[in-house]
Structure 1
Amino acid sequence: MNTTALAGPLAGAARVRPDGWLATPLNTNPACAEAQARSLIYRHHPAAPGPVRCLTARYRTATFTLGDPPRRLLKRHGDEAGYLGEVLAYQLLDGERVLPALHSTSDTTRTLVVDFLHQSADIATADGFDDLIASVAAIHTAPARWDAATADTMNLWRLDASADAPAPAWVGRHAAWRHLVQLIVGAHGDTHVPLGHLDLKADHCRRRPDGRLALIDAETLRPDLTGMPDLITLAYLATTDGRTLSPRWVRQTYRRHTNHLGTQWSDAGLVGALRAFADATGLASLHAADQ
């Protein structure tokens, strides 16, 4: 088992997979990956526009622009869990308008076609970063707006259904985790499904044609991790790469947006939840999100 700590905003709270963990890695040669993509599109996404151009060809994922100029994006996963996670994100966040539009999926080939969003969203300013926080808040509170069918499907992940379940295996201090869950119940209610763990990066923030911010990578979204990793990552992003926004402002803005959408976070409760997450997981730093 690899025990190398993950670098970045969540250092200490996660582990890096060892090389070679994926049983069927994707072809990393762009020309070969592009040829494979053309064949997959012909058979499984016949309505997708052409031509196909390889954007990235990696061990675990590959992306291809479709159309000239690019109109859509083909995403291919070598990891079934990654594919299912991304499709789940689109299903759980349907109607929130925080992701690009989804056009088609193929479980057979672990591929999906979405809108290609080329315009970056500037998160260097307070207004731009506020849009990002608002999008994250919409994702964290989405379970409160699910239709009955989606809510029934996700019953297993509700906090009241998992209250007596043991803490996740990767959690080091179970008492701190239970305290975190209690604080989340106090803010969201005991029927809440704790969505979280977005892959938040400046490059993943794009503008939709209607001007709204969208996140172009949601494959890591999980219905058991809570929103704390995302709030911590937001605080980290606020002070890196030349950005000089206050982590305290990030926390307060997040609380304003989530409470507007129906939660009841107090500032003390949110600070307590951040610290409980760090205590439970061994997180190296909260990046001043609790200050």
Structure 2
Amino acid sequence: MSTTLAGPLAGAARVRPDGWLATPLTTDPPQAEAQARSLIQRHHPTASGPVRCLTARYRTATFTLGAPPRQVLKRHGDEAAYLGEVLGYQLLDGERVLPELHSASDTSRTLVVDFLDEMADIDRKGGFEELIAAVAAIHTAPARWPQHITETMSPWRLATTADTPASAWVRDPAAWREMLRLVTAAHGADHVPLGHLDLKADHCRRRPDGRLALIDAESLRPDLTGLPDLITLAYLGQVEGRALRPRWVRQAYRRHTNDLGAQWSDAGLVRALTTFATATGLTSLHGVDQ
């Protein structure tokens, strides 16, 4: 489900062993920049401007383009992570919750997106609820998909997957099936259960139109539901000096998702959260079930 050892989803996370990536990227920034310039020339010819390395990690590398920066080049060493991020941009097109995607290259596993420098302060009045609203828009996006995306994503509909065997990492398949039943009751059998966002305060930025956007979508999956994101929101509401009641987070999430077409009852949402924890081995719900 994740490569994170601890944090909001501790217990439900799996850790990959060292050396799992067959073709790691360079971690040397000057070398990474030189490679990025070559990739831009070959695969993103409309992108221009000076290239500056922001991060050079063995799985991903990011670069600003332009002076001042106007765009970001993101490079993936892992094909699944690249495909997941591209899928996120495709599935959420029109929701205005991500930066704008300008181009992508399957060959080089690279994307060029808008550079969003302005932080969205989730600690200002109304800021955290704005984050919750953005997450709710992502989770309910399948209800607003155009027909061609709906047809493409039909293999992931709950009507198709709810009765299939649970993935090997699920610890309690019966609890997982019950959780999917509850999600189906709230969203409908045609729902594709989007979830597993990389939610962090420093991933919240402002788009040019003023809306809050999330700058990292590579972990989004069409099979995990939005429940891990609600759990993470409850966790974020209690760290870094915040003191937001988990119950308030849950109620705000339920209100926003229901405003966008879901039909969660509070009891159903709590039950879905507890069955998710049972199914995955999650060590804490951070009070969001209380």
- TM-score bin, normalised by smaller chain: over 0.9
Aligned-pair CA distance for 1:49: 2.1
Which residue in the other structure is 1:271 paired with? Answer: 270
Contact 1:86 1:218 in 2 (8 A): yes
Deviations 1:61-105 (A, max 9, x none): 000000000000000000000000000000000100000000001
Q: List aligned pairs for 1:117-196, cutoff 5 A.
A: 117-196=116-195
Letter in 1 for 2:216: D
Alignment of 1:1-291 (within 5 A): 6-291=5-290
Instruction: Write the deviation string for residues 166-197 of structure 1: whole angstroms up to 9, x where unpaired.
Output: 11111111111111011001100111100000
Structure 1 residues 5 and 223, CA, compared in 2 at 3 Å: closer, same or farther? closer
- Once residues 14 and 173 of structure 2 are traced to their aligned partners in structure 1, the CA distance between those partners, rounded to angstroms, is 18
Structure 2: which amino acid aligns with 1:254? Y
Partner Cα separation in structure 2 for residue 232 and residue 265 of structure 1: 16
Q: CA deviation at 1:211?
A: 1.1
Asked if 1 retains the 8 angstrom alpha-carbon contact of 2:85 and 2:218, the reply is yes
CA distance in 1, matches of 2:133, 2:167: 28
Cα distance in 2 for partners of 1:68, 1:162 equals 47
Contact residue 163 and residue 177 of structure 2 kept, 8 A: no
Deviations 1:121-176 (A, max 9, x none): 11123511111101100000000011111001111000111122011111111111
- Structure 2 distance, partners of 1:218, 1:5, is 16
Q: Secondary structure at the match of 2:103?
A: strand
TM-score (norm 2): 0.98
Alignment partners' CA distance in 2, 1:231 and 1:5? 17
Query: Is the CA contact 1:54–1:64 (under 8 Å) kept in the aligned structure 2?
Result: yes
TM-score (norm 1): 0.98
The number of equivalent residue pairs is 289
Check 1:83–1:102 CA distance in 2 against 1; reply closer, same or farther (3 A cut). same
Rounded to whole Å, the distance in 1 between the matches of 2:168 and 2:194 is 18
Report if aligned partners of 2:89, 2:98 keep a CA contact under 8 Å in 1: yes
Query: C-alpha separation between the residues in 2 aligned to 1:131 and 1:18?
Result: 37
Shift of 1:118: 0.5
- Partners of 2:18 and 2:119 in 1: how far apart? 32
1:244 Cα deviation (Å)? Answer: 1.2
Residues 156 and 222, structure 2, Cα contact 8 Å, conserved in 1: yes
Deviations 1:206-234 (A, max 9, x none): 01111100000000100000111000000
Which amino acid counterpart does residue 122 of structure 2 have in structure 1? I
Q: Sequence identity of aligned pairs in percent?
A: 76
Gap runs ≥5 in structure 2: none
CA contact (8 A) 1:126 1:245 kept: no
Once the two structures are superposed, what CA deviation does each residue of 1:238-273 show, in whole Å capped at 9, x if it has no partner?
Answer: 010111111111100000000000000011111000
Mapped contact 1:6–1:13 kept (Cα < 8 A): no
Query: 1:10-41, CA deviations, whole angstroms, 9 ceiling, x for partnerless residues?
Result: 00001111111000000000000000000110
Q: Distance in 2 between matches of 1:126 and 1:223?
A: 32
Query: For 2:159, what is the secondary structure of its paired residue?
Result: coil
Take 2:157 and 2:83, find their aligned partners in 1: how far apart are those partners? 20
CA distance in 2, matches of 1:63, 1:11: 27
Structure 1 SS opposite 2:221: coil
Structure 1: stretches of 5+ with no match in the other structure: none
